[in-house]
Amino acid sequence: MNRGELQAIVASGFGGRGAARYVFVRARTGSRPGDVRAELATRVLPHVVSVESEKPPAFAQLAFGPGGLRALGLDDDELDTFPREFVQGMAHPERARVNGDRVDEWHLGVHGLDVLVAVFAGDDDAAAALEADMLDGAAHLERACEPLVASRLPGQREHFGFRDGISQPAIEGVHADPRGPERPVPTGEFVMGHENVYGQLPAAPSLSRERGAGLPDSRVSPGRVDLGDDGTYLVLRKLEQDVFAWRAWLREASRPLAGHVVDPEAYLGAKVVGRWKSGAPLVTCPHRDEPDHALDNAFDYDLDLSGLACPRGAHIRRTNPRGALPPSPPRSRAAVETRRLLRRGRPYGPPAGEAPDGVERGLVFVCLCANLSRQFEFVQQTWVEGIKFDGGWSEDDPLVGARRDGADRFTIPREPVRYAPRGLPRFVTARGGGYFFLPGMSALRWLLDERRR
């Protein structure tokens, strides 16, 4: 494993850097692929860091949607060596059907996103300066829309007030010191060119030998060279959060619980999320928030299959069910291991005050995976949006679900009478996004090589 070949975001979300800008770039009309490559190579590539690189005060990561690869000169046959879902793009009706998206509510990426330049820095001034340095005055590149400016909220929280980003798989060969007792996930789940959880090499984009001279021989497409080695796919979604609807619902829906639990609003919020605000999981802290347990991640649902501690439909249980699913905890854990995501998201917009302010805020959800359909789309379709998840009747993810087909209920198992409020509003609305190919460093240099055809 050569960690110098991986773009740095594979190993880290750069938590120490307070600011991130997601800049969407495209080729200017009429610009030739050679010129686009040359400009990206001189303006952006020098700022792209690998896992091994020394990190300057501000740096970038670079990824491409299908339109971006076309702008670099790849043809349709070459694009067809990428997965279908990537070539179609997140806004395609088939993908929208799978992900439960209503593209008519989007304002980002409705017609695809070509090039993603993600800039990270200590503060937004530095990030904006690097963005300007790379793009202002470019002859062949232009911004496709306003960049998404993301930040950090105090205490690593998201806008609803919960600590975020606690459970994160460690990758074999990438993270030298895996966090927690979780077994590290095989490299190929997150990086192409390495064995995945099935002990196989992921399918990867490839080129003919003459075209891709200099790239390594493909081990999965006989007679061709590999463009995917040390690369992966990046999913970006702009998820708007309605903090005021969330607070109002907590107030309203927690009323019947008054007198039965200590703090009804905190209780209801924790049941929806699966963790208390500090991050402490319900499985280890079923009755009250215990900040000492904020980072607990070595728990399982095998002793809580009925969901009395953590409801079966709670957000963190849906998105990582651990041992909760049939037929048995060990087999559930093995199956769940094939659906992991590396999350790299950050909040955008100012923290919400007391009164509704009409300002948009939310999460720039970013995740990485080597197999879009098996990992990201599965989690989104079957676990988050799946209204039959784990024996459910008509419930989607109570926190982030799109409430399709009248799925607006959330069941909180209690002994002996469950509480199942109906009419859950949408707290989170997808406003757009895209699928990107995040190449390894060698493939990136090949893609941007101005001398090639």
Partner 1 sequence: MEPEQRALSVVLPVEPSRLPELAAALAAMGVTVADASRVFGDVPGLHFARLVMIPSGDDGRAWLALETNFDGPLDLHLDALASRVAPRARAVFACCSGFSFDDPRGSLLAGRLPERAFYLGHQGLTVETILNDRAVKRALSELLDDEISQDPSLLREGVDPRPVMQRVLGRLRRERPELELGEVPRPMHDAASFHARLWAIALFVVVLVLSGQALHPWGGAIVVAALLAPIVALAIAVLRAERGDREEIRDRPIRAYTRDELARLGTIGLIEDGSPQNALTHLVTPKPGRLRAGLLRFVLWGVDQLGKYVYRHGSLGAIPTIHFARWIILDDGRLLFFSNYDGSWESYLGDFVDKANEGLTGVWSNTREFPPTTLLAFDGARQEERFKVWTRRNQLVTQVWYSAYPDLSVRNVHAAARLRELSVPTHRRATAREWLALL
Is residue 183 within the footprint of partner 1 (CB under 8 A)? no
Is residue 435 within the footprint of partner 1 (CB under 8 A)? no
The minimum distance between CB 168 and partner 1, in angstroms, equals 22
> What is the C-alpha separation between 196 and 155, in angstroms, rounded?
34
> What is the C-alpha separation between 73 and 283, in angstroms, rounded?
52
Helix axes 264-273, 243-253, angle to 10 degrees: 120
Residue 275 Rama label (left phi>0; alpha psi -120 to 50; beta): beta
Is residue 262 within the footprint of partner 1 (CB under 8 A)? no
Is residue 356 within the footprint of partner 1 (CB under 8 A)? no
Q: Kindly write out the interface string for residues 199-238 of this chain, putting x where it contacts partner 1 by CB under 8 A and - elsewhere.
A: -x-xx--x-------------xxxxx--------------
The minimum distance between CB 378 and partner 1, in angstroms, equals 5
Selected binder of partner 1 within 256, 286, 330, 356 (CB under 8 A):
256
Q: Under a CB-based contact definition with an 8 Å cutoff, are residues 352 and 242 in contact? A: no
The minimum distance between CB 203 and partner 1, in angstroms, equals 4
Is residue 75 within the footprint of partner 1 (CB under 8 A)? no
Selected binder of partner 1 within 66, 83, 109, 323 (CB under 8 A):
83
* Sequence-ordered list of residues with C-beta below 8 angstroms from that of 274, at least 6 positions apart, any chain: 281, 282, 310, 311, 314, 315, 316, 317
Name the one range near partner 1 by CB under 8 A: 35-43, 288-296, 376-384, 442-450. Answer: 376-384
Selected binder of partner 1 within 414, 426, 445, 452 (CB under 8 A):
414
- Which residue, 145 or 335, is less far from partner 1 as judged by CB? 335
451 phi and psi angles, rounded to 5 deg: -80, -25
- Which residue, 84 or 111, is less far from partner 1 as judged by CB? 84
Name the one range near partner 1 by CB under 8 A: 40-48, 104-112, 125-133, 195-203. Answer: 195-203
Selected binder of partner 1 within 168, 284, 297, 382 (CB under 8 A):
382
The minimum distance between CB 176 and partner 1, in angstroms, equals 28
Judged by DSSP in three states, 25 sits in strand
> What is the C-alpha separation between 249 and 399, in angstroms, rounded?
11
**Beta-carbon count within 10 A of 287 CB:** 10
Is residue 287 within the footprint of partner 1 (CB under 8 A)? no
Name the one range near partner 1 by CB under 8 A: 1-9, 60-68, 372-380, 431-439. Answer: 372-380
Name the one range near partner 1 by CB under 8 A: 17-25, 105-113, 136-144, 193-201. Answer: 193-201
Instruction: Give Dmax (Cα) for the chain.
Output: 74
List C-alpha distances in Å: 204 to 1, 2, 191, 227, 231. Answer: 17, 18, 10, 7, 9
**Residue whose C-alpha is closest to residue 160's, from 247, 35, 232, 79:** 247
**Beta-carbon count within 10 A of 185 CB:** 21
187 phi and psi angles, rounded to 5 deg: -50, -40
Amino acid at 286: P
Is residue 254 within the footprint of partner 1 (CB under 8 A)? no
Judged by DSSP in three states, 58 sits in strand
- Which residue, 221 or 278, is less far from partner 1 as judged by CB? 221
Contact residues toward partner 1 (CB under 8 A) are 80-81, 83-84, 93-94, 97-98, 196, 198, 200, 202-203, 206, 220-224, 255-260, 306, 326-327, 331, 334-335, 338-339, 371, 373-374, 377-378, 381-382, 386-388, 391, 393-394, 413-420, 422
